[in-house]
Structure 1
Amino acid sequence: LRAVNDQPETYTFWDYQAGAWPKNNGIRIDHLMLSPEAAVLLQSANVEKHVRGWEKPSDHVPVAISLSV
């Protein structure tokens, strides 16, 4: 994610305590590790933040990548 997105406050986890989600008080703890061969194919990486707003969501959200072929 950091290789293609250096935006601050790009989080993948919001604790349920102290209203972390509404305050956007999160942390980035979900990572995708790529081999050197896959890393050169990396086109984009996105945090699917909208999933956290669903009814009864997990405190983590998915991270998705796109690789060129």
Structure 2
Amino acid sequence: MGNTCKSTKTDSIIASIVESPMSIVPNNQSEEIPPPPSTTTTKITTTKLYQSSNGSTIREEKEEEEEITRTET
């Protein structure tokens, strides 16, 4: 999307949006329901294994979500 090169493909897409805005709007709305592209939610799962004194293995899982927001300049 950040390309400065103009391609005929992009021009035709822009033209079709101008010609028929009503058909474009529902598509855009359904795509915008997930978080915007600038914000990424990453799930980090940390698994630790402990060896207990009686020989059994204790497993500890920690799951956390981290939101990364990129600001494009």
Per the normalisation by structure 2, the TM-score is: 0.28
Relative to its length, the structure with more strand (as a share) is 2
Per the normalisation by structure 1, the TM-score is: 0.30
Q: Which has the larger radius of gyration?
A: 2
- Identify which of structures 1 and 2 has the higher relative contact order when contacts are C-alpha pairs closer than 8 Å and 6+ apart: 1
Relative to its length, the structure with more helix (as a share) is 2
